[in-house]
Amino acid sequence: MIYIENTSLNPYFSFALEYYLITEKQLPEDEIFLFWRTEPTVMIGKYQNALEEINDKYVNEHHINVVRRITGGGTIYTDMGGWQFSFITRGDAEQIDFAKYIEPVIKALNQIGVKAEFNSRNDLTIGNKKFSGNAQCKHHGYTLHHGSLLFNTDFEQMIRCITADDYKIISKGIKSVRERVTNISEHLLAPMDGPEFKKLMVESIMNGSTREYKLTSADIQRIEEISQNKFQSWQWNYGKSPKFNITRTGRFDGGKMEFKLDVNNGIIESCSIYGDFFGSIDTSVLCDALIGIEYNQKSIKEALEQLNLENSFYDINFEELLGIIC
């Protein structure tokens, strides 16, 4: 097995690196190992509906990255307090096999005094509390297995990124998460920082080997191209979301306003507006402006700005209106 050092904190680059290694780069080694981390990021599974998994408003306001994996599984949040690991193995495995790749991670954690266990599906736990999720796929004759490690992750931010923007829901969510999820740092025999943790994990999983491939400038250039063209693209991250219906409701001094939207491949296909509000324009004008645009706050804001709506609804301002829709 050979190790590749990935110092980038950009999740799009890191997923592009994995993709590059299984689709284009032909290294002589049959096994590759990566250990990396990212800026605050929500990672969604290949088959998930991005718009139903994240709190889009919070994610946009706080500049949280959103990226779709090429593997299945659920949505996770990671930040500078977490780590990711990747195993890339050449060869056509017949079926998904989590245990093969999770065992060396458990062994490494045990060596630093952390009593980690595999829960038989795709999670790692400490005392029945989850600290790692794993995902896997077969692609181009390779097996890609990657997983997350909660080392010192911000749980409050995690919940806000994936929960509806409601204080009571968020408060209950934080409490619930703390009952079910844990950080590795809370279970160490002796304190250590993130980089030291990484060093010990890599040394153990590589079994003391120092074999390493260093990315060339040509590698990095190609990886950045894949990052931009695939993993940063709106079409990949949002456009692959299946058709769904969404209802968004706001209650203001000027009354209640409810939007019912049909969204397909990330594009608004139909819109209806209900409520006991007062308006000086016909709601069909507003709906017509939304149909055909991408369902994200930036595109919706640009569409609404064309209508000059500032005084169109009694006691409901533009920002409040925007906040209802997305």
Backbone angles phi, psi at 36, to 5 degrees: -150, 170
How confident is the model over 56-104, as pLDDT tens digits? 889 989 999 999 999 888 899 999 999 999 999 998 766 778 889 999 9
pLDDT at 93: 67
> Which range is most confident: 82-96, 188-202, 257-271, 303-317?
188-202
Three-class HEC string of the chain: CEECCCCCCCHHHHHHHHHHHHHCCCCCCCEEEEEECCCCEEEECCCCCHHHHCCHHHHHHCCCEEEECCCCCCCEEECCCEEEEEEEEECCCCCCCCHHHHHHHHHHHHHCCCCCEECCCCEEEECCEEEEEEEEEEECCEEEEEEEEECCCCHHHHHHHHCCCCHHHHHHHHHHHHHHECCHHHHCCCCCCHHHHHHHHHHHHCCCCCCECCCCHHHHHHHHHHHHHHHCCHHHHHHCCCCEEEEEEEEECCEEEEEEEEEECCEEEEEEEEECCCECCCHHHHHHHHCCCECCHHHHHHHHHCCCCCCCECCCCHHHHHHHHC
Q: What is the mean pLDDT of residues 260-281?
A: 87
Regarding predicted confidence, which is higher, 122 or 232? 232
How buried is 79 (Cβ within 10 angstroms: 0-12 exposed, 13-18 middle, 19+ buried)? buried
pTM as predicted: 0.80
Model confidence at 113: pLDDT above 70: yes
46-to-2, 56, 67, 71, 195 alpha-carbon distances in Å: 27, 18, 10, 5, 30
User: What is the rounded average pLDDT for all residues in the chain?
Assistant: 89
Q: What is the mean pLDDT of residues 252-272?
A: 89
pLDDT at 175: 58
Answer yes or no: are the C-beta atoms of 261 and 271 closer than 8 Å.
yes
- 35-39, 52-56, 169-173, 281-285: least confidently modelled range: 169-173
> Which range is most confident: 100-104, 180-184, 223-227, 234-238?
223-227
pLDDT at 274: 85
Domain 244-325 has CATH 3.30.390.50: yes
pLDDT at 164: 55
pLDDT at 166: 52
Regarding predicted confidence, which is higher, 160 or 16? 16
26-to-8, 32, 145, 214, 313 alpha-carbon distances in Å: 21, 11, 18, 14, 60
Domain regions of the chain by residue span:
2-239, 244-325
CATH class of 2-239: alpha beta
How confident is the model over 38-53, as pLDDT tens digits? 999 999 988 787 877 8
Q: Percent of the chain at pLDDT above 90?
A: 59
Model confidence at 294: pLDDT above 70: yes
How confident is the model over 160-179, as pLDDT tens digits? 998 755 544 445 555 566 67
pLDDT at 17: 98
